Amino acid sequence: MRRPLFTILVLLLTATAAAAQTCPNPDALGTSRVLEVSAATTPRVGRKEFPQTLPLGPKELVLTFDDGPIPATTPRILDALKAECVHATFFLIGREAAAAPALVRREAAEGHTVAHHSYSHPLLSHMPIDKAEANIDKGMAADDKALYGVWRGNPVVPFFRFPGFASTPALLDRLEQRHIAVFGADVWASDWNETTPQYELDLILSRIDKIGRGIVLFHDSKARTARMLPSFLRELKRRGYHIVHVVPAGHGPLSH
């Protein structure tokens, strides 16, 4: 018999809180604070797509990863984050979550926020609205089933990112009506391009230094990002940046 969703959530939250109480690395970058996000106050964030972003201070960054979980690369991303006691947000593709539920559970157990990125990564703005929303819901259902074992019609974590940032006014309005916050980004690594890890590292650091704060977009499906990430996190520490972990409003600090 499946455990009730509430029981599963309690177990997950207890596990993540216990895991985050101490950091074995005294020199780690760490997670400086937790920021609760609500669609009621910030329905759409990320200045590459929208007029506003999250209320972050100077040198505060939110780390996000798209397109996983991928067995060949996501564990390496998680290992790097764990070594630096950093918490991030993973925007999952539903079909990947269904194929690798243990990785979804690991993300949550290690204190990360598990959010949504459609079922099959289509450009939703190119689809009829009913088919686009069906793909969004199918992805959310797959993610929640992988993590919680059940889908209740709305996501437990009401965060969504459009594949390719390909939104439409109608879809944005529909998600806002459902109290689902839409995440864009303020800066990204362009890690979909074929580059070396060093080139990616230099590029993302230069972009971050230019804007000084914001939502950072990576892809945990990219091997070059997995190879680059430990150096990136150490360099953020050296340059005085701070990591902010976003969680849904009302859930409390999932990682503290």
> Domains in the chain and their CATH numbers?
5-19+30-248 (3.20.20.370)
Write down the pLDDT at residue 9: 52
Per the prediction, the chain carries an average pLDDT of 91
Please report which confidence band the pLDDT of residue 5 belongs to, taking 50, 70 and 90 as the band edges: low
Average pLDDT over residues 135-139: 98
Tokens representing 44?
A: 């759409």
The closest of 217, 221, 251, 245 to 85, measured between CA atoms, is: 245
* Each residue's pLDDT tens digit, 188-226: 999 999 999 999 999 999 999 999 999 999 999 999 999
Average pLDDT over residues 223-231: 98
Write down the pLDDT at residue 97: 98
- Does residue 186 carry a pLDDT above 50? yes
Please give the backbone phi and psi of residue 102, each rounded to the nearest 5 degrees, phi first.
-65, -35
Q: Is 26 exposed, middle or buried (0-12, 13-18, 19+ CB in 10 A)?
A: exposed
SS3 content of the chain, % helix, strand, coil (to 5): 40, 15, 40
Contact 29, 233 (CB under 8 A): yes
Average pLDDT over residues 54-79: 98
Tokens representing 22?
A: 């101490």
CA–CA distance, 128 with 54 (Å, rounded to integer): 30
Q: How many residues does the chain have?
A: 256
Average pLDDT over residues 234-255: 85
CA–CA distance, 31 with 247 (Å, rounded to integer): 13
- Does residue 53 carry a pLDDT above 80? yes
Contact 61, 213 (CB under 8 A): yes
User: How large a percentage of the chain has pLDDT more than 90?
Assistant: 87
pTM: 0.91
